[in-house]
Structure 1
């Protein structure tokens, strides 16, 4: 199976849209702090309005459209997933907990064996 080559062509208009979106985000932060002497609701309104403008401009660019297409594809794939039943989920959770307990006991036993071997037998350090 061959992988098709994906080419992304970014036009000057798309670059300009991304630049405008970035400037709107920066402008939102600047406006929030520049309006420091105003009421909080006005500062938040200016921040949200400029951020909403940035989002709108971003989604009109090719990268924004690609993000929307990716989201649609991801949602379509998510609907194809066969989710486990409650019983299956509980069984798998039980298996995981049992495995964790067994591994904890194994690691504890290994640690104590190596501690006994090194400190008591080889080095002769009695505690």
Structure 2
């Protein structure tokens, strides 16, 4: 129950930061942006002390570790795969256009007799 209250408080702090942006409409932009950042910071600080917040931090750290394990493609591989995708799209466009025009000819010219 305490975590739900903390999480609700964190969301209220976040919303108050955004509301502060609009409430301080006559102030310089830097003050308005700082109000939003203060709301976000306060909300994150409160959420940090909840069990879901700690789990989220742990999950984020694990995600970063897993991202470092990824073997990213080289520039050459990226260019080759991009070329293959573009070629496939071009071939499919021609096939679909040919199919469309063939069906149009069969339906309108042969079956219905509507000459263009």
* TM-score normalised by length of structure 1: 0.80
Question: 2:10 aligns to what?
Answer: 21
User: Any unmatched runs of 5+ in structure 2?
Assistant: none
Runs of 5+ unmatched residues, structure 1: 1-11
Which residue does 2:72 correspond to in 1?
A: 83
Distance 1:40 1:80 in 2: 41
CA contact (8 A) 2:18 2:35 kept: no
Residue 43 of structure 1 corresponds to 32
Label 1:90 to 1:125 Cα distance change in 2 as closer, same or farther (>3 A): same
Match of 1:54 among 43, 46, 69: 43
Measure how far apart 1:13 and its partner are. Answer: 2.0
- Name whichever structure is richer in helix by fraction: 2
Deviating runs (4+, > 6 A) in structure 1? Answer: none
Contact persistence 2:48–2:54 (CA under 8 A)? yes
- Residue 105 of structure 1: aligned partner: 94
Paired with 1:93 and 1:36, the residues of 2 have a C-alpha distance of 47
Report SS of the residue matched to 1:106: helix
Q: Distance in 1 between matches of 2:27 and 2:73?
A: 53
Q: Provide closer, same or farther for how the CA distance between residues 115 and 77 of structure 1 changes in structure 2, counting only shifts above 3 A.
A: same
From 102, 112, 116, the equivalent of 1:123 is: 112
Residue 54 of structure 2: aligned partner: 65
- Structure 1 residue 114 corresponds to structure 2 residue 103: yes
Structure 1 vs Structure 2 CA RMSD: 1.7
